[in-house]
Amino acid sequence: MAEFVTLDVTDGIGTIRLSRPPMNALNRQVQGELLEVSRAAAEDPDVKAVIVYGGEKVFAAGADIKEMAEMSAGQMTDAIGALQAGLGAIASIPKPTVAAITGHALGGGLEVALGADRRIAGDNAKLGVPEVLLGVIPGGGGTQRLARLIGPSRAKDMVFTGRFVGAEEALAFGLVDEVVAPDAVYEAARTWASQFVRGASRALAAAKAAIDEGLDTDLATGLKIEAHVFASLFGTEDRAIGMASFLENGPGKADFTGN
């Protein structure tokens, strides 16, 4: 049973909750629990979309520096794979995911949020990758996912300076997708996630795989990935249901089964 990371499933939406007061520092135990709970969300057929949430006051203020401070280069070489897997676990869920961000999302905390498909932030949010101020760099996927999301120039500015970015600036350059009042963050995330509860789950997973895998390669290979997952959907119940519904009733009225 996970101690600091939980999965609650309500009405088809799974909420992955970080709860390690006071700042949700992401030590090795939390990283492992994130991986475990993300796998559970991925495998649970009752979960159609996922929210990752740190609570009303803070998302996560980064890795546990006290735990890292005495580690040698050899020890970190052995540990870095687990660190990247844990902090990047949200990205491995083949369902729509959204990070609901209140307060600080820094270092490893921002890296967790970067693994989501969408980020909704409170207007009090502060986001950043301040690792360079500790003499290191983001190591949980931050240099790669951040640059892919906001472009190399903006990513380098954030990584090189370690500065914190406010919610409105983050919205302006695409680091977050929506800004709301802090007490509305979780409900805004549920509103977004609820769109997919009765959706065509296999098509959503295929769309996510085509986009994510395609971004990691050249256009020609990406088109081959798209072609493969597109064709595979013609063996699903939902494809038959969706097309029949369209022909009979027009778009947007299909009652999908998720199969």
Active site residues: 111, 131
CB-based contact 126:79 (threshold 8 Å): no
Order across the sheet with 165-166: list the strands.
104-106, 126-128, 165-166
If you search the block for the tokens 């969300």, which residue do you land on?
41
The C-alpha atoms of residue 54 and residue 4 are separated, in whole angstroms, by 10
DSSP string of the chain? --SSEEEEEETTEEEEEE--TTTT-B-HHHHHHHHHHHHHHHH-TT--EEEEE--SS-SB--B-HHHHTT--HHHHHHHHHHHHHHHTGGGG-SS-EEEEE-SEEETHHHHHHHTSSEEEEETT-EEE-GGGGGTS---SSHHHHHHHHH-HHHHHHHHHH---EEHHHHHHTTS-SEEE-GGGHHHHHHHHHHTTTTS-HHHHHHHHHHHHHHHTS-HHHHHHHHHHHHHHGGGSHHHHHHHHHHHHH-TT-------
Query: What are the structure tokens assigned to 211, written together?
Result: 């986009």
- How far is the C-alpha of 151 from the C-alpha of 13, rounded, in Å? 31
